[in-house]
């Protein structure tokens, strides 16, 4: 295991954070040993749906060698640090179905699995067979998808994912890619987490945030933080904003929505404090 300093104001998709020390996991043994020192190390990944406090401790991430795609005959083994776009391109080239949802979806495969990422009813779990991870020994075990409790933007995965194991089914569908592109046209391109909150049952987080008057309202000392005028569930950073400001705005939105609608918004963004 090696140590590396990562500036989260540069590395994270929201462009907020400080320069922090991160342990780079190079082997399953590294991760197993890290668990002996801390019960729950904070997993960084590609930091696409992550807000990291300047005070965050015990940060870990996989070595870049875990960005790979391996054809194992009946299934694909995909390293958890593999960019979603890399797997999408592979699936398109090899006419594989079930990966169309990755078109335009940022992040690494590990994070996408953990959050069961997707768009509306289309989710990564539809093609996932399981994951490779460390359990009770410093070797990788296969954990079936059925035991991961994959649901709307959540799972029971708390450990570091080393790889995802996916079905191989023929029939890449370009019409789905076109559909997903159209569905994402209202999403801003500015630095963000992606969706900040999960949609409540039978409602939309963006609608609720707009209804309490927070859509497009500048926030923070530099007035560079806001819920996007294009899509209110995207908290965007247009300059130099701080962790405390982002956290305050998230809590403010939850408070306003709770008081007006009696609905508790659930974070989709992961916050490491």
Backbone torsion region of residue 182, taken as left when φ is above 0, otherwise alpha when ψ lies between -120 and 50, otherwise beta: alpha
Provide the CATH number for the domain formed by 66-178 in this structure.
3.30.465.10
Give me the residues paired with residue 70 across strands. Answer: 77
pLDDT per position as a tens digit, 125-142: 999 999 999 988 999 999
Using CA atoms, how far apart are residues 263 and 27, in angstroms rounded to an integer?
43
- Residues classed as catalytic: 153, 195, 268
Q: Residue 5: its pLDDT value, please?
A: 98
Using CA atoms, how far apart are residues 26 and 29, in angstroms rounded to an integer?
8
Q: Residue 186: its pLDDT value, please?
A: 86
- Tell me the CA distances in angstroms from 242 to 5, 13, 17, 54, 147, one per residue in order: 19, 14, 7, 9, 38
Looking at the structure, give the CATH architecture of the domain made up of residues 188-268. Answer: Alpha-Beta Complex (3.90)
Q: Residue 136: its pLDDT value, please?
A: 87
For residue 208, give the nearest of 140, 139, 265 by alpha carbon.
Answer: 265
Using CA atoms, how far apart are residues 163 and 154, in angstroms rounded to an integer?
18
Domain residues of the chain, as ranges?
2-64, 66-178, 188-268
Provide the CATH number for the domain formed by 2-64 in this structure.
3.30.43.10
Instruction: State pTM to two decimals.
Output: 0.92
pLDDT per position as a tens digit, 216-230: 999 999 999 999 999
Residues in the chain predicted with pLDDT less than 50, given as ranges, are: none
Q: Residue 75: its pLDDT value, please?
A: 98
Q: DSSP 3-state assignment of 223?
A: coil
Using CA atoms, how far apart are residues 35 and 92, in angstroms rounded to an integer?
38
């Amino acid at each position: 295991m090696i140590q590396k300093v990562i500036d989260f104001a540069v590395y994270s998709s929201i462009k907020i954070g400080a320069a922090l020390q991160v342990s780079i996991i190079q082997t399953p043994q590294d991760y197993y040993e890290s668990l002996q020192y801390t019960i729950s190390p904070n997993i960084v990944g590609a930091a696409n749906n992550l807000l990291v406090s300047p005070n965050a401790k015990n940060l870990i991430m996989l070595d870049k060698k875990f960005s790979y795609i391996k054809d194992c005959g009946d299934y694909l083994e995909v390293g958890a640090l593999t960019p979603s776009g890399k797997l999408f391109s592979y699936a398109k080239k090899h006419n594989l179905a079930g990966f169309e949802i990755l078109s335009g979806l940022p992040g690494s495969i590990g994070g996408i699995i953990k959050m069961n990422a997707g768009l509306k009813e289309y989710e990564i779990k539809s093609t996932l067979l399981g994951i490779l991870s460390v359990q009770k020994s410093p070797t990788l075990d296969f954990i079936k998808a059925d035991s991961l409790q994959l649901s709307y933007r959540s799972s029971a995965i708390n450990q570091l994912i080393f790889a995802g194991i996916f079905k191989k089914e023929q029939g890449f569908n370009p019409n789905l890619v076109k559909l997903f592109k159209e569905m994402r046209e209202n999403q801003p391109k500015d630095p963000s987490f992606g969706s900040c909150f999960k949609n409540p049952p039978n409602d939309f987080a963006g609608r609720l945030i707009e209804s309490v008057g927070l859509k497009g309202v500048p926030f923070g000392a530099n007035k560079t933080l806001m819920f996007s005028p294009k899509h209110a569930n995207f908290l965007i950073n247009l300059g130099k904003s701080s962790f405390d400001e982002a956290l305050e705005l998230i809590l403010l939105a939850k408070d306003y929505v709770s008081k007006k609608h009696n609905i508790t918004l659930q974070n989709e963004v992961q916050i490491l404090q």
